[in-house]
Amino acid sequence: MYETLFGSKTRVKLLALMLTNTGRAFYVREITRTIDEQINSVRRELLNLKSIGLLRSTEKKGKIYYEANPKFEFYTELKRIFEKTGHTPTGEDKTTFGIRKSGDIEYAALMGSFVGDAASQVDLFIVGEVDKRKLKSVLGHLEKELGRETNFCVMTVNEYNDRRMLFDRFLTELMSSPKKILIDNLKEEETKDEE
């Protein structure tokens, strides 16, 4: 229905991303990765939405960042549509989308009680830069599902890489335990390291 109403799947995902992340700007490759669409179609839609005034752009350190323009005539109405329906830009479940929105996340996995592994000390493992206030609402949702406090672990990418290089026992056990991977951009990073 949305594709018919708004013209294309890429445009719908792009609108959902921009309208559910008020005040946050994204650069082109980040958008492409987040909504899982081809870069050429993302660029085309960005230009279309910018030309009608729904998006605005700024340049920082050689990258062009795009964000929703709250002064656009129908901004409030469009934002309400996407928030009301719970439509996420990636078609992900709300937990994954919530985690992705909580910062610059490279990796996230549900473990422990979420996958029936009673031996695991960790229910949620995240690698990246996290805004704890934003993560708190995701944790609240997960805690309702579990019926108890969620045991979670957050590492920066540098900490993860350092521990991985040292074959850190905690990290090795964590990564080899049963899990449901929600976000995994680390594979790309590891491939770059090996080249």
Q: 87 pLDDT exceeds 90?
A: no
Q: How far apart are CA 82 and CA 15, in angstroms?
A: 8
| Amino acid at residue number 129 | E
pTM as predicted: 0.54
How is domain 2-85 classified at the architecture level of CATH?
Orthogonal Bundle (1.10)
Task: Cite the residue boundaries of each domain of the chain with CATH code 1.10.10.10.
Answer: 2-85
Q: Answer whether 143's CB lies under 8 Å from 149's CB.
A: yes
Q: How many residues does the chain have?
A: 195
Return the residue matching tokens 């700024």. 58
Give the residue-averaged pLDDT of 85-114.
Answer: 77
Q: How high is the mean pLDDT of the chain? A: 84
Q: Answer whether 64's CB lies under 8 Å from 58's CB.
A: yes
Give the residue-averaged pLDDT of 88-101.
Answer: 69
Query: How far is the first Cα of the chain from the last one, in angstroms, to the nearest whole number?
Result: 43
Give residue 113's Cα distance to chain centre. 23
Q: How far apart are CA 93 and CA 90, in angstroms?
A: 9
Summarised one tens digit per residue, pLDDT across range 102-137 is: 889 999 999 988 888 888 889 999 999 999 888 888
**Which of 74-78, 93-97, 159-163 has the lowest average pLDDT?**
93-97
